[in-house]
Structure 1
């Protein structure tokens, strides 16, 4: 909490308009457009809403195929399944949970309509290669940048590279407003229709700009835009983005240094390590994020040799009252895939399954104390 959230909510109330698309909504959208070079941004109730809008804008229909990673949250798939699409899953990379771009082209058929990229932990996928494949086959690219605020690929903000980008402001993200999201529109030809979908299928936004003398039903759509209360809370967070990110980067670096020193010279941080790491990991084969995979410091995770080792270490941390959690379960192995996409259920995607079984996330939040200094003394 930055301290300004309730004050800005009160301002929104005092302005006399707490339904969507008011002053704070405009501030939040302009922040991303101006700071990250995005053509048009639209606040949504969630990243799920943004993904559903993306599916509508790409005109996904029954029988279309959409390629996406198996190691992702269910919303990534649901948005396109709701339009009748068949999901085709791609495996993760051997050294990172992001989709393996070298496996995409072999999955493309005459039915393929789009590629959905997921930037896991705010670390960029190989967008040059993916955009090249998409251009060659005339496919839409949607970036699921739910975890990707203030993270970049070759100086381009995540969410600004594909035709469309989707971001989350859920309370688990770096910047949050409880529930919230954003659709980022990078293809100018999509902007007009995106506004209509956003406003329940009406040209209401154009009406308020004075472009039409009345508004009516012109397309399909839904109530995708959040209230000004949500936007006001979000604006308080965005004002402090650089400060929040600096803090998270510091925490990430302290984790990284802790494991690095444990690997090369354990006695350097023996007190802290004995509390938090040595007892739990000294006999385990683990790897952790490298500096090139820091991204926006959304999370810090460990990769264990197997599920049993992960469970043992997680139990060790729990005994110290430290919460650690694993993450996504491979969607191609889900009950839904078994019942609706049996051919996908039968596929072997070993890297996705390995991350499902062996990845463990350590605590990462703004108020976390420096792990290299104080976890051992007063946890």
Structure 2
């Protein structure tokens, strides 16, 4: 069976973990964490990078920084992972779901304004498949209404919008280094802070609400509890593993792009025949080849393709069950009107295997898809 995902190792992870072990600093915020922060800030152009133990944790930090009160509203897509909503529900806020675009499958910027109410505090964009949302329009809308913008950039490290790295555009952004992402640490994430007024507070929240980091820099004579917070730090072994991945990020992206492009060219004829729809890439967005998906005409044909590929030894998977359909989504959130594109995409989208090392088997995947359509 060709699996949907297979984690890629660069070859230096264990050596860096051994170095961290030798340094005797295994808790967070050691030398490897510092080097990861430097790399992220240089690559994304964010104001400040802070490693977290997951992207979920980074989103929860963003929710804390918003100072949300019970009943406040946060606009976001329903076609996303549960963490996008859960982080804000934990603060008592109400996710308000807006439909996605039919082309990029990103939040439909033309429908956001109609969903804004006096309780709206923020817009959370999700850069689906590493393709940027229409950030100029969204940022302008947020400015007009006095709203914050949070980027869920879990899938988007290495992608850009009009030449600007995703994760550097909103007030804050969350990244994921889960083993299903391009750059991995098993589990892991980062909060990218771009609003200058949030920088110091984010550091405090990440350190359980204490000014511990300031103490170790010699800025205060003792550290104490000064704000709300929690334990969001990953250990140094995670940071050591991650640094090895960062150092190969350019090569990893290039290899994934080659796989992505091979798929895209292979299914052009099937798209012309109306059997599938391939991903749409706006000219002003540079993506990172996070995933390759196909949109089938309907649920029945997607289900048949999944089963047909399985019979031929290929694991292909669908993606999100929309949050507005989920029991918790109906309990804690609301939809801003009908979400027809979200509903349709959730029943039609199929993701194909895409991982480094797939190259010798990719033609087998392509031929299996063609045979099943």
**TM-score category of the 2 structures, normalised to the smaller one:** over 0.9
- Indicate yes or no: 2:289 matched with 1:297: yes
Give, in angstroms, the shift of residue 337 of structure 1.
2.4
Mapped partners of 1:289, 1:100: distance in 2: 16
Matches within 5 A, 1:1-379: 1-262=9-270, 285-292=275-282, 295-341=287-333, 343-344=334-335, 347-369=337-359, 373=363
Mapped partners of 2:150, 2:332: distance in 1: 23
8 Å CA contact retained: 1:101, 1:130: yes
8 Å CA contact retained: 1:330, 1:352: yes
Per the alignment, residue 278 of structure 1 pairs with none
Mapped partners of 1:101, 1:217: distance in 2: 40
Larger CA deviation: 304-313 vs 253-262: 253-262
Q: Residues 328 and 294 from structure 1, CA distance in 2 versus in 1: closer, same or farther, beyond 3 angstroms?
A: farther
Show structure 2 runs of 5+ residues with no match: 1-8, 369-373
Give, in angstroms, the shift of residue 326 of structure 1.
0.4
8 Å CA contact retained: 1:25, 1:43: yes
8 Å CA contact retained: 1:117, 1:125: yes
SS at structure 1 position matched to 2:86: helix
Runs of 4+ in structure 1 displaced over 4 angstroms?
A: 261-264, 370-378
SS at structure 1 position matched to 2:150: strand
Per the alignment, residue 270 of structure 1 pairs with none
Q: Give the structure, 1 or 2, with the largest relative contact order (CA under 8 Å, sep 6 or more).
A: 2
8 Å CA contact retained: 1:369, 1:375: no
Give, in angstroms, the shift of residue 376 of structure 1.
7.7
Give, in angstroms, the shift of residue 347 of structure 1.
4.0
Alignment deviations for residues 322-373 of structure 1 (CA, whole Å, 9 cap, x no partner): 00000011111111122334x53x9420000111111000001111115665
8 Å CA contact retained: 2:105, 2:128: yes
8 Å CA contact retained: 2:103, 2:280: no
Mapped partners of 1:34, 1:256: distance in 2: 31
Mapped partners of 2:280, 2:72: distance in 1: 37
Q: Residues 371 and 133 from structure 1, CA distance in 2 versus in 1: closer, same or farther, beyond 3 angstroms?
A: farther
Give, in angstroms, the shift of residue 36 of structure 1.
2.1
Work out which of the two has the higher radius of gyration on C-alpha atoms and give 1 or 2. 1
Give, in angstroms, the shift of residue 35 of structure 1.
2.2
Mapped partners of 1:291, 1:116: distance in 2: 21
TM-score for both structures, normalised by structure 1: 0.91
Aligned-CA RMSD value? 1.8
Per the alignment, residue 5 of structure 2 pairs with none
SS at structure 2 position matched to 1:361: strand
Give, in angstroms, the shift of residue 96 of structure 1.
2.4
8 Å CA contact retained: 2:53, 2:234: yes
SS at structure 2 position matched to 1:97: coil
SS at structure 1 position matched to 2:11: coil
**Count of residues in Structure 1 that have an aligned counterpart in Structure 2:** 358
